[in-house]
Amino acid sequence: MRLWQFNGGLPALAEHKNESVNLPIEAAPVPAQLIYPLRQHIGNAAKPLVKIGDKVLRGQKIADAQGMISAPIHAGSSGTVSHIADHLIPHPSGFSAPCITIDTDGLDKTLDSTPYADFRQLSASELVSIVRNAGIVGLGGAAFPTAIKLDNQSKSRHIETLILNGAECEPYISCDDRLLKERADRVIEGVEILLHILGANKAFIAIEDNVADTFKSIQTAIANNGNSLINAVQIPTIYPTGGEKQLIQTLTGKEVPSGDIPADIGIVSINVGTVHAIQQAVIAGKPLTSRIITVTGEGVTTPHNLDVRIGTPINALIELCNGYTKLAERLIMGGPMMGFALLNDEIPVVKATNCILVASKHEVITEKQAMPCIRCGLCASACPVSLLPQQLYWFSRSEQLEKAEKLNLFDCIECGCCDVVCPSHIPLVQHFRYAKSALKVKNYEKHSSDIARERFEAREERLARDKAERAERSRKKKAALKNEPAKKEAIDAAISRSKAKKQASVEDKS
Ligand code: SF4
Ligand code: SF4
C-alpha cells in the first residue's frame, strides 16, 4: 500500500518504550475510593444522578450526559456515594471541579447488563445509542464523545474509510501497544462493529514500524476473523504520526482542511483503545468503567501497564508500582511531549488518561534558559501542521491574539516539535496554550455580550410591538364607542318600522 509523508515531524525522537513495552497488562485492584470529575470529556459536564449516601453498583450510571456533546459516567465498583463536591482534577490549570466520590465496599458487585453477541441484528442508530449510553469518549487523549463521530445517519454524510489509530507515537507510552498484542481479537471485532455502523468499505489499522510483533498479532487476528475489508498497515515511526490529521495524510495522502473534520472528507479515525471500549459495550454489555494506562518513568520503582478503574487516585497506582524512586521530580499525565504536569497524586485517573509519567529531572525538565529568537526557521520546518511557530510566538507574546488566530493558531496540535528543535529553548507550546485559552475567553465573552445585546434588542422590539398593539386596540374601542349612537338610532328606526308595519296589518284586518 502506498504511504504519504506529512510535513515536518521528528524522526529521531528518543522513544523510551523499552521501560514498559514488554510488560503484560495487569489488573489494578479496586481502590478504597473512586473519584469521578463530572467533566471528563469535551462538551458539557455530566449531571449527577446520585446523592450522598446512595448505594451504587459497578456499571451503574451515576451522572448523565447534558446535551449532545457530553457523556454519562458509570460507577467503577460497588460502594456508597460519600461526596459530591469540588476536588482537584487532571487539568493543566490545576483547577478543582465538581466530582462524585464513591467509598468502595470491596464486593465489586456489578449491575446486570444487556450484551448483544450478534451486533448485526442491530441498526446503526441502535449501536450508536449503545456507544452513547456506555459513556465512551476518545481514549487516545482527545476525550471527544465517540457517538457523535459515529452518527452519520442524522448528518447524512458518507464515510468511505475507517482508520484505527494504533500509532502510539508519544515517547514512554505503551498501553495501546499492549492492548493490540493481548486483546487483538476484541479490537478486530470492534472494527467490524464500526464498519457496520458507518457503512465504510475499508478499514486500516495503523501501527508504527518499531513494533513488528504487534503488527504480527494484528495480522493474525485479522486472518482469524477473515473480514477482507480490514487491513493492518505499518507506518514509519515519525513523531507525531499518531496525530489524527497526520495519520490520515500518511495513509490516504488527503489533507483535512483547516476548520474541517475528517468526516468532511469521508474518513473516520478512532483510537484502538476506544474501539476496544466499543466492543466491550456492545458484545459484553459493559459501559466504560476501566481503561489501560502505562505508569512509567525513572521516578517510579516498577513501571507497569495496568487495567485501571477510571476514578482511581494516582497515589494508589504509584503504591502498586512500589512507590517513587529518589529521582522522582515531576508527575505528568500523558507523555513528555503533549502531557501536562499534575499538582499532586491525589488526582484521579480519568477516561482520557493513557499514561502517568513520573519523570526525573533529565527526563522532562530543561534547565536551559530561554534566549531570544534568532529567526532560524527550524520550528517551521519541524511543524507537522505547516504553521509558522516563530510568528505565532511573536503575536502570542505581544498579546496580538487576533493576528495569531489568523495564522491558524487553533490548528496547532501542541505536539511540541517546535519546542524540541528550537536552539533558543523557547517554550513555544506554553505560549500557544496561553494564547488559545485567552482567545477562547475573549471569544466566549464576545459571544456572551452578543447574546446579551440580541436579547436586549428582542426585548425592546417586543415592548414596542406590545405598545403598538395596545394603541391599536384602544383606537378600535374608541371608534366602536363613537359609532355607538348611530348604531342605536338605526336599531330604534328598525324597531319603529317593524311596529308600524304590525299596527298597519291589525288595522287592515279590522
Ligand atoms: S506545537 Fe504547534 S506550532 Fe509547534 S510544531 Fe506542533 S503543531 Fe506546530
Ligand atoms: S526555532 Fe526558535 S529560534 Fe528558531 S525561529 Fe523558531 S522560535 Fe526562533
* Range with lowest mean pLDDT among 12-26, 139-153, 277-291, 320-334: 139-153
The predicted structure's pLDDT at residue 141: 80
User: Are 342 and 199 in the same domain?
Assistant: yes
Ligand nearest to the CA of 421: 2
Tell the residue nearest (CA) to atom 5 of ligand 2: 375
Ligand nearest to the CA of 404: 1
CA-414 nearest atom, ligand 1: 1
User: Are 218 and 336 in the same domain?
Assistant: yes
User: Are 389 and 335 in the same domain?
Assistant: no
Ligand nearest to the CA of 390: 2
Tell the residue nearest (CA) to atom 4 of ligand 2: 376
* Range with lowest mean pLDDT among 38-42, 65-69, 124-128, 453-457: 453-457
Residue 361 lies in a domain: no
The model carries a pTM of 0.86
What sign has the CA pseudo-torsion 168, 297, 97, 72? positive
pLDDT at 366 over 70: no
Tell the residue nearest (CA) to atom 3 of ligand 2: 373
Asked which of 355, 382, 408 is the last residue of a domain, the reply is 355
CA distance 298 to 292: 20
User: Are 40 and 183 in the same domain?
Assistant: yes
Nearest to 350 by CA among 87, 90, 72, 60: 90
User: Are 345 and 388 in the same domain?
Assistant: no
User: Are 281 and 387 in the same domain?
Assistant: no
Edge-to-edge order in the sheet of strand 61-64: 47-48, 61-64, 73-74
Tens digits of residue pLDDT in 235-247 = 999 999 999 999 9
Mean predicted confidence (pLDDT) in 113-130: 93
Residue of 373, 393, 428 with the most ligand 2 atoms within 8 Å of its CB, for mutation:
373
Distance 245 CA to ligand 2 centre (A): 24
CA-380 nearest atom, ligand 2: 6
User: Are 294 and 412 in the same domain?
Assistant: no
Q: What are phi and psi of 376, to 5 degrees?
A: -80, -20
The pairing of strands 79-88 and 55-56 is antiparallel
The predicted structure's pLDDT at residue 462: 85
Tens digits of residue pLDDT in 374-430 = 999 999 999 999 999 999 999 999 999 999 999 999 999 999 999 999 999 999 999
The predicted structure's pLDDT at residue 493: 82
**Neighbouring-strand partners of residue 207:** 234
pLDDT at 368 over 80: no
User: Are 406 and 275 in the same domain?
Assistant: no
Directed axis angle between helix 184-198 and helix 272-283, to 10°? 80
Residue 118 lies in a domain: yes
Query: 420: domain range?
Result: 373-510
| Whether the CB of 416 sits within 6 Å of ligand 1 | yes
Asked which of 355, 384, 410 is the last residue of a domain, the reply is 355
pLDDT at 20 over 90: yes
| Whether the CB of 422 sits within 6 Å of ligand 2 | yes
Residue 417 lies in a domain: yes
User: Are 383 and 349 in the same domain?
Assistant: no
User: Are 211 and 349 in the same domain?
Assistant: yes
Tell the residue nearest (CA) to atom 3 of ligand 1: 389
152 against 363, higher pLDDT: 363
Q: Across all residues in the chain, what is the average pLDDT?
A: 92
The predicted structure's pLDDT at residue 336: 92
- What is the tally of structural domains in the chain? 2
- Kindly report the CATH number assigned to the domain that includes residue 202: 3.40.50.11540
Distance 385 CA to ligand 2 centre (A): 16
The predicted structure's pLDDT at residue 150: 94
The predicted structure's pLDDT at residue 365: 61
User: Are 323 and 417 in the same domain?
Assistant: no
Tens digits of residue pLDDT in 476-490 = 888 877 776 666 677
DSSP reduced 3-state for 88: strand
Ligand nearest to the CA of 383: 1
| Whether the CB of 389 sits within 6 Å of ligand 1 | yes
